[in-house]
Structure 1
Amino acid sequence: MEKNWVARAAVQHIAALAALVALCIPLRAIATDAPLTLAEAQRRAVERSRQLVGQDFAITASREMAAAAGQLPDPVATLGVNNLPINGPDAWSLTRDFMTMTSVGVMQEFTRAEKREARAERFEREAEKSLAARTASVAAIQRDTALAWLDRHYAEAMAVVVSEQSRQATIEVEAAEGAYRAGRGSLADILAARNALALLDDRSSELRRRVSNSKIALARWIGDGADAELAGRPPIDSIRLDPRTLEQDLPHHPQLAALRKQEEMAAADVRVAQANKKPDWSVALMYSQRGPAYSNMISVNVSIPLQWDQKNRQDREVAAKLAMLDQARAEREDMLRAHTAE
């Protein structure tokens, strides 16, 4: 009795698993065979792009550099032996000669706050420029994916039309041949019908190649799934642009936004170069120990670079950065004119 109960329970368990599998398979097939929409293709392309991942790393790198650029330089530790005799009765002794001393010290360069802020701001502008470039890359990926998707959509639609025309042309060939056999037609009618069918066959072959190439182009962006059935064409007959606000909206174009951030980064480089015209001070503190018979000493040193040739160094660096700023501004204005003309 107990064995029969165990057997029935096992059969019921297996039946339940079989039913679950039967339910899951159609659902998976439905999910896999769902038509590929234009929006879904664009989403996959953006998600798959390694270019965007690289730009994310560039943004992170610039922000990390901005944090580092705002800090003071690392202090420098010094160790040394000064005035060590190398001959005579006190040779190589650290304690006998009153001038011999062992020293330990630390030196710190105090970079001006405005200079550190300018350097940090420069990397912040670089991060913003990379972010704007990423936005432009997303737009370019979506555009190219849409072109590949639409190219395949129209190629397949044309292939369907030509296939139907070929079917009709085949019927016309058969009709022409039947009419000729019945004495109601001529060989010229048969040749004309066959020639039309041959032209349609050539057109059909061309469209099959175009469909195949469009699938390859789409796979370049979305990878696996480029062969999936396409959904219907989305409504793209109208452009969502208001001519009244076009002049105000145009500067927000992804390419123009990236060039504007490039210009801001160039302006930050100018501020860094201008800040470099003011030298930074360094302070060194040293403790020196002499022999037991002599006093120990401390030393304090202050150093500052002598920018004695600013017109050929710092001023030229500022001039170079200003020229690069003018270049960035000119490129942005040229791009703005090009998009305005479009």
Structure 2
Amino acid sequence: MSILRFLGGAARAASLLAFASAAWAQQPLGLQDAQRIALARSQQLVAHDAAAAAAREQSVSAAQLPDPVLKAGIENLPVNGPDRFSLSRDFMTMRSIGLMQEFTRADKRRLRAERFQRDGERIQAERLEATATIQRETALAWIERHYAQAMVTLLRRQLQEAQLEVQAAEIAYANARGTQAELFGSRAAAVQLQDRLRQAERQVRAAGLALARWVGADAASRPPDGRIDWRDPTAAASLSPDHLQHLPHLAVLAAQVRAAETEVQQAQANTRPDWTVEAMFSQRGSAYSNMVSIGVSVPLQIGRTNRQDREVAAKLAALAEARAKYEDAFRMHEAEVRMLANDWNSGKERHAQLQAALLPAARMRSAAALTAYQAGTGPLAAVLAARREEIDAGMQLLALEMETARLWAQLHYLTPEAAPLPVPKEQP
């Protein structure tokens, strides 16, 4: 009996688990949820974090002095005669051990460390750029899926009404109150709606595949939930020069400019040579005195004009290149942002106008044509034509809203939004 109870409990647990999994699979996917999942799945951010850690480690290493060099050897060892290969009988034979250390200037070591710090700044800026790109592309894919589903819903509702009109035309024709042309016209209109519905469903599947690129197939299969405030005026803040200067791509170029400035300072510091100090102890035979040697070596910059000065000139040219690229990118982004804002504002105005005038007029005409047909004072063809215009008006309004929402997303996610914490990754 206990075994039966155990099996029954296991079956109930499995059923509950299956129900919970199915319920989760049907949970709507909001825009913020999609972005959290996309950020958690991104390997770009993992790569940037690893590169930043590498730059930090290299920065510490570059600030250190070079490793000392241990030297050991035998000098003046006889190779022939009665004292050959003797380490103690010839007064010139010495067993030596020494230590050599290069003393790199402190400013050079500081600049080397600073150069890797500049790399770290660039990597952090690239990480912000990647974050903004993930949020923006996820938002665009989510918007595409959201409005594609809205178009499917609209067409399904219109198809239901068209099927009712087909039934009404069949009844009217059977009762000799309608013509065969009206019956065939209503059926053709329903077939056309079915074809448009299939096209819209294909667009939903394509949008789901595009969204799965960012959130995975499981999350992309969940229905989109919620709406976005694509009329939000804060997106216009991206037009300010201060906001433009903080765009992630420009931050990357600014970090490259600072890195080029550090390289110029490094090249200028290299015009001052480093010193190397060496100390050596030499042991001879017991009958002779031991010796100590101390030496200092300094590179002679004989060809400085064609060597060190050329390096400085090259780094200055690279700095000018980095600054020019930054200025050109700033102008390009400023123009792009202003064009996006212009199109976004135009889309909002057009949407408000069409929503206030076109769609209500199309609905009223459709209702008037249907009333006239039901009263026997109007043809079915007028009803079908009015219905087509109403559907076209609704599709036009949805398409314009989607286009405007996409423009809003491109403006809003020029910089990364402070998103909630990413969803934890599932354990394998």
Q: 208, 211, 217: which one pairs with 1:218?
A: 211
Q: Which residue of 2 aligns with 1:329?
A: 323
C-alpha distance in structure 1 between counterparts of 2:195 and 2:326, whole Å: 48
Q: How many residues align?
A: 335
Shift of 1:12: 12
Shift of 1:212: 0.9
The answer as to 2:275 corresponding to 1:261 is no
C-alpha distance in structure 2 between counterparts of 1:231 and 1:237, whole Å: 18
Q: 292, 299, 322: which one pairs with 1:298?
A: 292
Q: Which residue of 2 aligns with 1:270?
A: 264
1:162-188 deviations in Å (ceiling 9; x for gaps):
111222222223333333333333333
The answer as to 2:52 corresponding to 1:68 is no
The answer as to 2:310 corresponding to 1:313 is no
Shift of 1:33: 4.2
The answer as to 2:100 corresponding to 1:107 is yes
C-alpha distance in structure 2 between counterparts of 1:191 and 1:313, whole Å: 89
Q: 88, 112, 120: which one pairs with 1:127?
A: 120
Q: Which residue of 2 aligns with 1:3?
A: none
Q: Which residue of 1 aligns with 2:47?
A: 54
Equivalent residue runs for 1:166-315 within 5 Å: 166-223=159-216, 224-241=218-235, 246-315=240-309
Shift of 1:151: 0.5
Q: Which residue of 2 aligns with 1:164?
A: 157
Equivalent residue runs for 1:74-93 within 5 Å: 74-93=67-86
SS at 1:312 equivalent: coil
Q: Which residue of 1 aligns with 2:379?
A: none
Structure 1 alignment gaps of length 5 or more? 1-6
Shift of 1:17: 10
Evaluate the alpha carbon distance shift between residue 319 and residue 73 of structure 1 in structure 2; reply closer, same or farther with a 3 A threshold. same
Evaluate the alpha carbon distance shift between residue 123 and residue 166 of structure 1 in structure 2; reply closer, same or farther with a 3 A threshold. same
Q: Which moved more, 1:332-341 or 1:136-145?
A: 332-341
Evaluate the alpha carbon distance shift between residue 320 and residue 197 of structure 1 in structure 2; reply closer, same or farther with a 3 A threshold. farther
1:30-54 deviations in Å (ceiling 9; x for gaps):
6664321101110111111011000
Q: 127, 148, 151: which one pairs with 2:144?
A: 151
Q: 7, 26, 39: which one pairs with 2:32?
A: 39
Q: Which moved more, 1:295-304 or 1:167-176?
A: 167-176
Evaluate the alpha carbon distance shift between residue 191 and residue 310 of structure 1 in structure 2; reply closer, same or farther with a 3 A threshold. farther
Question: Which amino acid counterpart does residue 201 of structure 1 have in structure 2?
Answer: Q
SS at 1:161 equivalent: helix
C-alpha distance in structure 2 between counterparts of 1:12 and 1:72, whole Å: 74
Structure 2 alignment gaps of length 5 or more? 338-428
Question: Which amino acid counterpart does residue 192 of structure 1 have in structure 2?
Answer: G
Question: Which amino acid counterpart does residue 53 of structure 1 have in structure 2?
Answer: V
Evaluate the alpha carbon distance shift between residue 161 and residue 244 of structure 1 in structure 2; reply closer, same or farther with a 3 A threshold. closer
Shift of 1:19: 10
C-alpha distance in structure 2 between counterparts of 1:147 and 1:82, whole Å: 76
C-alpha distance in structure 2 between counterparts of 1:67 and 1:142, whole Å: 33
Shift of 1:270: 1.5
C-alpha distance in structure 2 between counterparts of 1:328 and 1:190, whole Å: 72
Q: Percent identity?
A: 48
- For the aligned residue pairs, the C-alpha RMSD in angstroms reads 2.7
C-alpha distance in structure 2 between counterparts of 1:213 and 1:245, whole Å: 33
Question: Which amino acid counterpart does residue 336 of structure 1 have in structure 2?
Answer: F
1:276-326 deviations in Å (ceiling 9; x for gaps):
121111011111111111111111111111221122222222222222222
1:59-118 deviations in Å (ceiling 9; x for gaps):
010011010000000000011111111111111111111111111111000000000001
Is the Cα contact below 8 Å between 2:58 and 2:116 reproduced in 1? yes
SS at 2:219 equivalent: coil
SS at 1:248 equivalent: helix
Evaluate the alpha carbon distance shift between residue 26 and residue 170 of structure 1 in structure 2; reply closer, same or farther with a 3 A threshold. closer
Shift of 1:13: 11
SS at 2:73 equivalent: strand
Is the Cα contact below 8 Å between 2:98 and 2:280 reproduced in 1? yes
Question: Which amino acid counterpart does residue 291 of structure 2 have in structure 1?
Answer: M
C-alpha distance in structure 1 between counterparts of 2:142 and 2:33, whole Å: 11
SS at 1:311 equivalent: coil
Shift of 1:14: 11
1:187-238 deviations in Å (ceiling 9; x for gaps):
3323332332222222111111111111111111111311112211122222
SS at 2:234 equivalent: coil
C-alpha distance in structure 1 between counterparts of 2:302 and 2:108, whole Å: 20
